[in-house]
Amino acid sequence: MDTYDAVIIGSGPGGEGAAMRMAKAGLKVAVVEEQPQVGGNCTHRGTIPSKALRHAIQLLADYRHHPLFEHTLSTMDITWPQLLRTSDQVIGQQVSMQHRYYTRNGVQVVHGRGRFTGSHELEVTRADGSTSNLKGKYFVIATGSRPWRPPQLDFTHPGIRDSDTLLDMDYTPRRVTIFGAGVIGCEYASIFANLDVKVNLVNTRDRLLSFLDDEVTDALSYHLRDQGVLLLHNEALDSVDMDDGEVTLTCKSGRVIRSDILLWANGRSGNTANMGLEDLGIEINKRGQIETNDRFQSSQEHIFAVGDVAGPPGLASASYDQGRFVGSYIAEGKVDWRLVDEVPTGIYTSPEISSLGRTEAELTQQNIPFEVGRAEFKNLARAQISGHTTGMLKILFHRETLELLGIHCFGQEAAEIIHIGQAIMSQSGKSNNLRYFAETTFNYPTMAEAYRVAALYGLNRLG
């Protein structure tokens, strides 16, 4: 039995962050990865392939609407499988880079599925059925999540897909129904709409992405409709029937929707099944996620959980930081830094959305006196040059202290633009101040100039 200071299960962002931090501190570390390549779902099934796919389709849409090229693409037949292959090179580069990290830092990678046979022992079963056993002083579970599948749907049928199996589809559908209008559902609605596929987006709630600022979600709804997406709110699943290559979704409201495929995007479950966790008394909630304390410890103090398997926010960026946090705690017995409370949200719809801090509704409910600074992208020279004039930057700030309270961005490169505001919001005291943007020189023309425009707009509103 091989013995390690720490054994990490899963090589996604959370596992990688923990492994690198502990290895650099001199600990003997092993990473157990079920798949034949490192990277986890983030690299192979989630973030990287879907965002590479979205980028390729966005390029195609931009060319189609550009006056110089719009006539040259009318005869091109670009298929879904061809677009999917655009992510292969990126995935290969990411896997190669991550593998080098493990090798360079002396981290042992063991491929196979891990199962606890004791509180400090893990049995790893390889693809060929052979097994090996690892002993660890500490364990970090970073196994991620998978799409939740309701039992009444037959996911072996080619017309029923989730966000994993959608990446195996070998044809381009004409009509797609997406059940679930969360982040994944909205992103794929944009992707298919930009391919000129007819999209039905079925939402179980009364508005899209209700955790975002109302103005942003209203803008997203408008632009999805403008792209031809049919939005159906407050619906619930009744039944799904498949016949002659057609999928028929019947909602409890009585609405009937027919399409070529049904993409189920309503919820995810933590990857905790058949790991022997219940035998150790580790508590798992109804979503398959491990219950942890504020140090990401399970009920077994030497077993930690990070990333999607530990619950929200379910972001690759946050998972990596959680892994580093746990790695520091294991290596040093304490952590001399804290995880930030405010994590930026990046949603890769078309256009993009990114958000940080509180919304107008939250500030109103909390009786905080605030004002709004706004910059419309259509007024920025850089947006006019690129042709991406849809969108805005919105800054919420305290009327008296000018402290930044929230930043909300909708438009091209929103997930990049948000980080400028994040850097100032993270400052303490008077450094977190709207006047920074009003009094700083920004390159011209840039999208970053939106901060200056929004700040001056906000200051003018103070009268």
Spatial separation of the C-alpha atoms in residues 202 and 237, rounded to whole Å: 9
Q: How confident is the model at residue 342, as a pLDDT?
A: 84
**182 is annotated as contributing to ligand binding:** yes
**418 is annotated as contributing to ligand binding:** no
**394 is annotated as contributing to ligand binding:** no
Tens digits of residue pLDDT in 394-423: 999 999 999 999 999 999 999 999 999 999
Least trusted range by pLDDT, from 50-64, 94-108, 239-253? 50-64
What average pLDDT does the segment 113-132 reach? Answer: 96
**183 is annotated as contributing to ligand binding:** yes
**446 is annotated as contributing to ligand binding:** no
Structure tokens at 121: 């022992």
What average pLDDT does the segment 255-279 reach? Answer: 96
Q: How confident is the model at residue 70, as a pLDDT?
A: 64
Q: How confident is the model at residue 71, as a pLDDT?
A: 67
Q: How confident is the model at residue 368, as a pLDDT?
A: 97
Q: 160-266: which CATH number, 3.40.50.12280, 1.20.1730.10, 1.10.760.10, 3.50.50.60?
A: 3.50.50.60
**186 is annotated as contributing to ligand binding:** yes
**51 is annotated as contributing to ligand binding:** yes
Residue 303: partners with Cβ closer than 8 Å, 6 or more residues away: 119, 138, 139, 140, 141, 280, 282, 297
Spatial separation of the C-alpha atoms in residues 150 and 132, rounded to whole Å: 34
The answer to whether the CB of 345 falls within 8 A of the CB of 353 is yes
Alpha helices (H) along 333-401: 360-365, 381-386
**181 is annotated as contributing to ligand binding:** yes
Tens digits of residue pLDDT in 218-227: 999 999 999 9
Q: How confident is the model at residue 72, as a pLDDT?
A: 66
Q: Tell which CATH architecture fits domain 351-461.
A: 2-Layer Sandwich (3.30)
Q: How confident is the model at residue 244, as a pLDDT?
A: 77
**114 is annotated as contributing to ligand binding:** yes
Spatial separation of the C-alpha atoms in residues 120 and 31, rounded to whole Å: 15
Q: Return left, alpha or beta for 112; rule: phi > 0 is left, psi -120 to 50 is alpha, else beta.
A: left
Tens digits of residue pLDDT in 327-357: 999 999 989 888 877 899 999 999 999 999 9
Q: Is the model's pLDDT at 66 over the cut of 80?
A: no
Q: Between residues 1 and 240, which one has the greater pLDDT?
A: 240
Taking the domains of the chain in order of start, what are their residue ranges?
A: 2-146+269-332, 160-266, 351-461
Q: How confident is the model at residue 60, as a pLDDT?
A: 84
**Domains 160-266 and 351-461 equal at CATH topology level:** no
In the three-class reduction of DSSP (H, G, I as helix; E, B as strand; rest coil), residue 299 is classed as coil
**Count helices and strands in the chain by DSSP H and E runs:** 13, 22
E strand segments, 334-390: 345-347, 353-357, 370-376
Q: How confident is the model at residue 73, as a pLDDT?
A: 61
**143 is annotated as contributing to ligand binding:** yes
What fold is seen in the domain 2-146+269-332? Answer: FAD/NAD(P)-binding domain (3.50.50)
Tens digits of residue pLDDT in 380-397: 999 999 989 999 999 999
Structure tokens at 454: 């929004």
The answer to whether the CB of 182 falls within 8 A of the CB of 303 is no
**247 is annotated as contributing to ligand binding:** no
The mean pLDDT value of the chain amounts to 94
Q: Is the model's pLDDT at 61 over the cut of 90?
A: no
**267 is annotated as contributing to ligand binding:** yes
